[in-house]
Chains A and B, each alone.
Chain A
Amino acid sequence: MEIPFTSKARPDTGLYNAKVGIWLFLASEVMLFGALFSSYIMLRIGAPEGTWPLPGKMLMTAPGAINTAVLILSSVTVVLAWASLKFGNFAQYKKFQAVTIACAMVFMCIKAYEYYDKFTHYAIVKTDGSVWDGHLVEQNDEYVILDIHSEDDGDHDHGHEAHDHDHDAEDSHHDGADEKPYVNPNAYLGVKAIKDFEYNVDEHGHHAHGEVKFPRSEIAKITNYTPKHSTYLAIYFTLTGLHALHVCGGAFVIFMIWGPLAKMWETDPERYINRVEVSGLFWHFVDLVWIFLFPLLYLL
């Protein structure tokens, strides 16, 4: 027995089965991401003063903006692919959908680069209380070498963020430009404004550049920018990681319908168009989530 209304719409609702199904599924996905967004709001507003990165500082804006443009382009091509099928132009559909799949791969490559950048990005708190931040060059049991970025280099500024974990460095205060710019790593718990928190400054007050070697004996705490680093990165990796999984899943389904399952175009074209439309709806949702994620995490 054939399942009714897989191709033709039900006369009472005017909808075929998959259309109702995908909208109900998207409703559940809205609640899933909504829960995470509300968690983000709670964490952001509830963070003690000085523990949340300054806007646009922790993450590179350019890859995020490029990813936004890539997803918007893929949203257009997925709907143009569906429109091509509605006109009966299968070859044109294949081309537009190929661009959609390519955009998904570009998005994942840029995301992978961003994640790699964060995982190789280390922060060191020395026993004298100074904080150093840069990308890992080499490490062993005796020392760690970081490639220190200075604000003068024009590299993305990692901003001023305190680490919200405890450690045993001695207290010291940075009161004025004349004094040693050592930082109380626990300063964020007090009333010191975060702008007093300086990175990569040696005992002479000079900003460091290039490769700097840190003997292990002088390191009080070392951490890279992974989810365990801070609340901000934990929610960032959760949100973008779940979104990336949705990108992969959506791209896989679109690919399967575009490739191995394209035979249905010959046997049941109307049902095939419905499949393309439904997978496109999911893809638009993925784009929608990113439209909110990008400004929330990267810009604000």
Chain B
Amino acid sequence: MASDHSTPPKDIREFLFKYERTYMVVFGTLLVFTVITVAIAQVDLDHLFHGANMTLGLIIATFKATLVLLFFMHLISEKQLIYLVMGFTCFFFVGLMGLTIWAMLDYPKLTSFFM
């Protein structure tokens, strides 16, 4: 996604809206989804299913994080070694979260307020 840097832009407007338009679009999208996140949090959606607000909030946060990763951090056009590093990171991160939640749910019988 990196733009061709051989021909310099004439002015700041050409720089922002022609050469680096992707960054501006992503910037606008991030701001819009921040407003959406705050707006959704004001509405109780738990009548849809338990934890709806939390789920939706985290989905939006993940979407925003993906935009930052792909376009601002240039992950969309990175080299294979970086993808390998990110792959290992994802594996261990998912493992960390998954094992923690698994351990939380695996409690001895007749203990904890879950009963």
Q: Interface on A for B, CB 8 Å cutoff?
A: 13-15, 19-20, 23-24, 26-27, 30-31, 34-35, 37-38, 41-42, 45-46, 48-49, 55-56, 61, 65, 68-69, 72-73, 75-76, 79-80, 83-84, 86-89, 92, 281, 284-285, 287-288, 291-292, 294-296, 299-300
Contact = CB atoms under 8 A, between A and B. Distances in A.
Nearest to A87: B8
Contacts of B53: 55, 299-300
Given A88-B8, A299-B57, A61 B23 contact: no
B37 A299 contact: yes
Contact of A288 (B37, B65, B80): B65
Given A27-B85, A65-B34, 9 more contacts: A41-B97, A76-B27, A83-B5, A84-B15, A87-B19, A284-B68, A292-B65, A299-B53, A300-B57
Contact of A27 (B26, B27, B61, B88): B88
A72 B71 CA distance: 13
Interface string B69-104: 100110000011110011011001100110011001
Contacts of B69: 284, 288
> Interface extent on B, as a size class?
35 or more
B61 A79 contact: no
A151 to B, nearest CB: 16
Contacts of A79: 23, 72
B78 to A, nearest CB: 8
Nearest to B97: A38
Contacts of A30: 89, 93
A31 B30 CA distance: 24
Interface in B2-44: 2-3, 5, 8-9, 12, 15-16, 19-20, 23-24, 26-27, 30-31, 34, 37-38, 41-42
A23 to B, nearest CB: 5
Contact of A19 (B30, B42, B82): B82
27 contacts: A13-B80, A15-B79, A15-B81, A19-B82, A26-B89, A34-B97, A42-B100, A61-B41, A72-B30, A72-B31, A75-B72, A76-B72, A80-B15, A87-B5, A87-B9, A284-B72, A291-B61, A291-B64, A292-B61, A294-B37, A295-B37, A295-B57, A295-B58, A295-B61, A296-B57, A299-B37, A299-B41
